[in-house]
Structure 1
Amino acid sequence: MRPSLYYLVPVLGGYAATSYYLLKHPHILQKRKRLAFHCRHISHRGGAGERIENTMEAFENAVAHHTDLLELDCHMTKDGRVVVSHDGNLLRQTGHNVNIRDVTYEELPQYKPSLEVTFFPGHMSTGTDRRIPLLEEVFQRYPDKPINVEIKEDSDELIKKVSELVRRYHRAEKTIWASTSDQVMKKCRKENPEMPFMFTPRRGFLLLFLYYTGLLPFVDLPESVVETYMPSLINRTYFPHNSLMRNRFLVYLQDKLMMRKSLFQHLQDRGIQVYLWVLNQDSDFRRAFDCGVTGVMTDYPSKLRTFLQEYEGERQTRGAEAQDTPPGGEQQRTHL
Structure 2
Amino acid sequence: MSAALYVLSTLGGYLLTSAVLLKCPALLHRPKRQRFRCRHISHRGGAGENLENTMTAFHHAVKIGTDMLELDCHLTKDEQVVVSHDENLKRSTGVDINISDLKYSELPSYLSKLDVTFQKECHCEGKDNRIPLLKEVFEAFPQTPVNIDIKVNNSVLIKKVSELVSQYKREHLTVWGNVSHEVVAKCVKENADIPTIFCLQRVLLLVGLFYTGLLPFIPFREEFLEIPMPSIILKLKEPHKMTRSQKFIIQFADALLMRKTLFDHLTARGIQVYVWVLNEEQEYKRAFDLGATGVMTDYPTKLKEFLRHYPA
Q: Which has the larger radius of gyration?
A: 1
Which position in structure 2 is the counterpart of 1:324? none
Which position in structure 2 is the counterpart of 1:114? 113
What TM-score results when the alignment is normalised by the length of structure 2?
0.96
Given the superposition, is the C-alpha separation of residues 246 and 189 from structure 1 closer, same or farther in structure 2, using an over 3 Å criterion? farther
User: Does residue 9 of structure 1 match 2:15?
Assistant: no
Alpha-carbon distance in structure 2 between the residues aligned to 1:256 and 1:185? 27
Which position in structure 1 is the counterpart of 2:19? 20
Query: Contact 2:73–2:149 at 8 Å: present in 1 too?
Result: yes
Query: C-alpha offsets along residues 160-206 of structure 1, whole Å, 9 cap, x if unaligned?
Result: 00000000000011110121111111111000000110000110010
Amino acid at match of 2:300: P
Query: Contact 1:35–1:173 at 8 Å: present in 2 too?
Result: no
Query: Contact 1:44–1:70 at 8 Å: present in 2 too?
Result: yes
Alpha-carbon distance in structure 2 between the residues aligned to 1:238 and 1:192? 39
More divergent stretch after superposition (152-161 vs 229-238): 229-238
Query: C-alpha offsets along residues 88-147 of structure 1, whole Å, 9 cap, x if unaligned?
Result: 000000001111000111110100011010111211111121000000000000111000
Q: Which aligned runs of 4 or more in structure 1 are off by greater than 3 angstroms?
A: 243-246
What TM-score results when the alignment is normalised by the length of structure 1?
0.90
Query: Contact 1:277–1:298 at 8 Å: present in 2 too?
Result: yes
Shift of the alpha carbon at 1:246? Answer: 7.8
Alpha-carbon distance in structure 1 between the residues aligned to 2:278 and 2:237? 10
Aligned-partner SS, 1:247: helix
Query: Contact 2:120–2:235 at 8 Å: present in 1 too?
Result: no
Given the superposition, is the C-alpha separation of residues 214 and 245 from structure 1 closer, same or farther in structure 2, using an over 3 Å criterion? farther
Alpha-carbon distance in structure 2 between the residues aligned to 1:232 and 1:150? 23
Given the superposition, is the C-alpha separation of residues 21 and 69 from structure 1 closer, same or farther in structure 2, using an over 3 Å criterion? same
Given the superposition, is the C-alpha separation of residues 144 and 107 from structure 1 closer, same or farther in structure 2, using an over 3 Å criterion? same
Which position in structure 2 is the counterpart of 1:67? 66
Which position in structure 1 is the counterpart of 2:99? 100
Aligned residue pairs, count:
309
Q: How large is the Cα RMSD of the aligned pairs?
A: 1.5
Q: How does 1:191-206 map to 2 (within 5 A)?
A: 191-206=190-205
User: Does residue 42 of structure 1 match 2:50?
Assistant: no
Given the superposition, is the C-alpha separation of residues 246 and 88 from structure 1 closer, same or farther in structure 2, using an over 3 Å criterion? farther
Aligned-partner SS, 1:193: coil
Alpha-carbon distance in structure 2 between the residues aligned to 1:265 and 1:250? 25
Alpha-carbon distance in structure 2 between the residues aligned to 1:238 and 1:277? 17
Aligned-partner SS, 1:236: helix
Query: C-alpha offsets along residues 236-291 of structure 1, whole Å, 9 cap, x if unaligned?
Result: 1379xxx9998111111111111111110000000000000000000100111111
Amino acid at match of 1:142: F
Query: Contact 2:226–2:276 at 8 Å: present in 1 too?
Result: yes
Identical columns (%) = 52
Query: Contact 1:234–1:246 at 8 Å: present in 2 too?
Result: no
Alpha-carbon distance in structure 2 between the residues aligned to 1:255 and 1:74? 28
Amino acid at match of 2:296: M
Query: C-alpha offsets along residues 195-233 of structure 1, whole Å, 9 cap, x if unaligned?
Result: 110000110010011111111111001100000100111
Query: Contact 2:177–2:183 at 8 Å: present in 1 too?
Result: no
Which position in structure 1 is the counterpart of 2:29? 30
Alpha-carbon distance in structure 1 between the residues aligned to 2:159 and 2:132? 19
Given the superposition, is the C-alpha separation of residues 238 and 220 from structure 1 closer, same or farther in structure 2, using an over 3 Å criterion? farther
Given the superposition, is the C-alpha separation of residues 39 and 217 from structure 1 closer, same or farther in structure 2, using an over 3 Å criterion? same
Alpha-carbon distance in structure 1 between the residues aligned to 2:245 and 2:140? 40
Aligned-partner SS, 1:211: helix
Alpha-carbon distance in structure 1 between the residues aligned to 2:139 and 2:36? 19
Structure 2 runs not aligned, ≥5 long = none
Shift of the alpha carbon at 1:235? Answer: 2.4
Alpha-carbon distance in structure 1 between the residues aligned to 2:104 and 2:120? 30
Which position in structure 1 is the counterpart of 2:129? 130
Query: Contact 1:235–1:246 at 8 Å: present in 2 too?
Result: no
Which position in structure 1 is the counterpart of 2:218? 219
Alpha-carbon distance in structure 1 between the residues aligned to 2:257 and 2:135? 36
Which position in structure 2 is the counterpart of 1:321? none
Alpha-carbon distance in structure 2 between the residues aligned to 1:306 and 1:145? 20
Query: Contact 1:78–1:103 at 8 Å: present in 2 too?
Result: yes
Alpha-carbon distance in structure 2 between the residues aligned to 1:155 and 1:202? 19
Aligned-partner SS, 1:177: strand
Given the superposition, is the C-alpha separation of residues 244 and 144 from structure 1 closer, same or farther in structure 2, using an over 3 Å criterion? farther
Alpha-carbon distance in structure 2 between the residues aligned to 1:245 and 1:60? 43
Which position in structure 1 is the counterpart of 2:84? 85
Alpha-carbon distance in structure 2 between the residues aligned to 1:58 and 1:299? 10
Amino acid at match of 1:263: L
Query: Contact 1:70–1:147 at 8 Å: present in 2 too?
Result: yes
